[in-house]
Amino acid sequence: MAPGGPAEKKGNVLPLWGNEKTMNLNNLILTNILSSPYFKVNLYKLKTYHEVVDEIYYNVQHLEPWEKGSRKTSGQTGMCGGVRGVGAGGIVSTAFCILYKLFTLKLTRKQLNGLMNHCDSPYIRALGFMYIRFTQPPADLVDWYEPYLDDEEELDVKAGGGQTLRMGDMLRHFLTKLEWFATLFPRIPVPIQKEIERRLALHPPMAPAGAQRSRESDRSRDHERSRDTERSRESERARDSDRSRESDRHRHRGSPERRHVERPRDRSRERLREPSRDQRS
């Protein structure tokens, strides 16, 4: 995993960009977080950074703002489903409740780096990256994310499963798209967005997630076919060798020299079996 971007160059206190009370979250999502029994009871008991990290490890399974099936989205699907749609809430997700809990702890740079580079769960890392997207100055985003743009660790971001992303691909989405399922990220000013795109151009997108596995599978199949072909050739050579030895034995048995040797032996045995004329008389 890569080191943590601008955190290594600045002090340990993080700036907070935008609204210092709402974390720049959608009002509907924030209202549902604040009224959620999970946030008010379960997360209220957690007082330290490490306790919240453990909570992520055990309970976060996707990165959508709403739990599966808890909210109608007026027929929209995907990462922009319901962004401008209905006015009713649903069951706000564990991930977003914990994201706001982290905000109430006022993370330090060191703690945020600890999330981004955590080795126990990709969701711990992902919530660190999402915290950056919602709270850090737009001009700093690419510095935070750039060391991780080629990160190949995978995670399923969709409630109920079925949408696996590599970490680097998710960060590209954070930098280039406003929509994230049923919510929006804070807007990035146009001049900063152009600089982000310039920096992204220095890091060509990774091959599709399945392409590498497909290439490895093709190489494995080619290797197996090569081994099968070699084994077939060895088997054929062995059969040819056996046939050659058998043919040599047949030729040796039927050769004139062999017959010449055998005939005198036969005649000698016949003479031994026949009594001499003197004995018969």
Task: Give pLDDT tens digits for 203-214.
Answer: 988 777 655 555
Query: Tokens at residue 216, please?
Result: 């490895």
* Domain carrying residue 81: 5-206
Q: Is the pTM of this model over 0.75?
A: no
Domain shared by 202 and 126, yes or no: yes
The confidence band for 253, taking pLDDT boundaries of 50, 70 and 90, is low
Domain shared by 201 and 274, yes or no: no
Which of 172, 190, 206 marks a domain boundary? 206
Domain shared by 58 and 25, yes or no: yes
Domain shared by 235 and 185, yes or no: no
User: Which is more confident, 37 or 242?
Assistant: 37
Q: Count up the domains in the chain and report the number.
A: 2
Domain shared by 191 and 227, yes or no: no
Which of 191, 206, 221 marks a domain boundary? 206
Domain shared by 234 and 179, yes or no: no
Which of 206, 233, 254 marks a domain boundary? 206
Domain shared by 149 and 267, yes or no: no
Please check the confidence at residue 156 and state whether its pLDDT lies above 70: yes
Separation CA 15–CA 234 (nearest Å)? 70
Please check the confidence at residue 274 and state whether its pLDDT lies above 60: no
Average pLDDT estimate for 70-95: 62
What is the structure's pLDDT at 58? Answer: 98
CB 169 within 8 Å of CB 206: yes
Please check the confidence at residue 82 and state whether its pLDDT lies above 80: no
Arithmetic mean of pLDDT over the chain: 82
Domain shared by 98 and 217, yes or no: no
What is the structure's pLDDT at 207? Answer: 78
Domain shared by 163 and 28, yes or no: yes
User: Which is more confident, 265 or 163?
Assistant: 163
Domain shared by 262 and 181, yes or no: no
Domain shared by 246 and 143, yes or no: no
Domain shared by 13 and 57, yes or no: yes
What is the structure's pLDDT at 87? Answer: 42
